[in-house]
Amino acid sequence: MTLDEAAAYLRVSERTMRTLVVREQVTAYRVSPRGALRFKAGDLDACLEPATGPAPLTALSDPVLAELWDNDDDAVYDDI
């Protein structure tokens, strides 16, 4: 894909695409040493995959949070 096509595919501007390339968040290819940038659909799809990180904190996963969130003093906020 061309830069314009890749930007449209990710629904970002061409400037943002160039920034992603500079930050090495998206792989770009050149057909010649100073040629235009080209992109593979698979590389762009990999950019869209959600990053894995720590699991969200919930009252079920943390007993301290359960005590803080599930108590009689805060019951009034449960219906909000």
Candidate from 8-12, 39-43, 71-75 with smallest mean pLDDT: 71-75
Query: Which residue's structure tokens are 């792989």?
Result: 27
Q: Over range 13-40, report the average pLDDT.
A: 92
The answer to the question of residue 78 being in a domain is no
The answer to the question of residue 42 being in a domain is yes
Domain of 29?
3-48
The answer to the question of residue 58 being in a domain is no
What percent of the chain lies above the pLDDT cut of 90? 49
Residue 18 CA, distance from chain mean position: 17
61 vs 80: CA distance, rounded Å: 22
The answer to the question of residue 10 being in a domain is yes
The answer to the question of residue 23 being in a domain is yes
The answer to the question of residue 31 being in a domain is yes
Domain count, the chain: 1
Residues 6+ apart with CB under 8 A from 17: 3, 6, 7, 10, 26
What tens digit of pLDDT does each residue of 20-32 get?
999 999 999 998 8
**Residue 40 confidence (pLDDT) above 90:** yes
Q: Which helix (H) or strand (E) holds 38?
A: strand 37-38
State the Cα angle at 16 between 52 and 11, rounded to 5°. Answer: 75
pLDDT score of 46: 87
